[in-house]
Amino acid sequence: MIQTSAPAKLILCGEHAVVYNRPAIALPLGNVRAYAEAQPGAPGAGLRFVAPDLGADWGFADDPQNPLNELAAAALAYLNAPVPDLTVTLRSDIPIAGGMGSGAAIGAALVRALAAHAGRELPTAEISAMVYASEGRYHGTPSGIDNTVIAYEQAIWFHRRPPAPPLITPVAIGAPLTLVVGDTGVRSTTRLPVGAVRERWQADPVVYEGLFDAVSDLVAQARDALASGDRTALGGILDDNQRLLAQIGVSSPDLEQLIGAARAAGALGAKLSGAGWGGVMIALAPPNGHSQIADALRAAGASRVRVATVPANDHIVG
């Protein structure tokens, strides 16, 4: 059996503005992952997918326009490999439509499994590009940040600069961070808030360009705070970013309730992470303060709470 995986991701700051060519910072969560398990099938059975979390089972040939089937086809074409007699089971610890990159992680794990079956290891950039194309079928106009941070599995600064390729650089983290992730339990497909923001931007570009510029300034400040290990400054930046996200129109009462509870419990800062209108929020905990924040989020109605530690960088891999 072949088993491959890919991590969840969190956008630390810069979501939505990143779609409009401003930078964002994203982090992988190595302990929250999606998995692909590939086992040989009967001769002539072809390629099949099983997704127990969704109660789904389908064949590669059954629905050519299924985004995962299209992704598999792209991977096999790149590998110059025939359609194998293979059963791929897809599982995930990442909530669907929760702002943590579940679709991109499943896609990356799938591509890695097909490559491993073919005896190949694909370049990370190629995995990222394939998953980005697949994400476009789900989300319409994805920023490209999910597939990038998930494929490379490191904290990144991501900046779209069309027509040039995106600027992707590692981010220095001077001191470890503890993030408490609260899930609202409300699922919101990424394309819905992204599409709504696009409509507002088209209707009032001056206002929204100003909001995106303000977010961009905060992302630059966050990079400096991360590099210096200044958690207090970073917390204030997260709070400021949340206020701008609320003005952009992607927060929600459920998110605001959890964010308020985290701040009241001692979080240095808190904000939504991802597309918004539901999904997850993140709270930056002070040293030894994560348990109190986690308890407060559960009491405030979080459907699930995770504690993630982001290590400091002893060195940065370019």
Could you give all domains of the chain from N- to C-terminal order, each with its CATH number? 2-170 (3.30.230.10), 177-310 (3.30.70.890)
Provide the annotated active-site residues. 146
Q: What is the pLDDT of residue 50?
A: 96
Kindly state the average pLDDT of the residues 14-38: 93
- Overall pTM surpassing 0.85 (yes/no): no
What is the 3-state secondary structure of the chain?
CEEEEEEEEEEEECCCHHHHCCCEEEEEEEEEEEEEEEEECCCCCCEEEEEHHHCEEEECCCCCCCHHHHHHHHHHHHHCCCCCCEEEEEEECCCCCCCCCHHHHHHHHHHHHHHHHCCCCCCHHHHHHHHHHHHHHHHCCCCCHHHHHHHHCCCEEEEEECCEEEEEEECCCCCCEEEEEEECCCCCCCHHHHHHHHHHHHHCHHHHHHHHHHHHHHHHHHHHHHHHCCHHHHHHHHHHHHHHHHHHCCCCHHHHHHHHHHHHCCCCEEEEECCCCCCEEEEECCCCCHHHHHHHHHHCCCCEEEEEEECCCCCCCC
The answer on pLDDT for 318 being more than 60 is no
The answer on pLDDT for 300 being more than 80 is yes
Q: What is the pLDDT of residue 287?
A: 92
Q: What is the pLDDT of residue 141?
A: 64
Kindly state the average pLDDT of the residues 103-116: 96
Give the model's confidence band at 139: pLDDT under 50 very low, under 70 low, under 90 confident, else very high: low
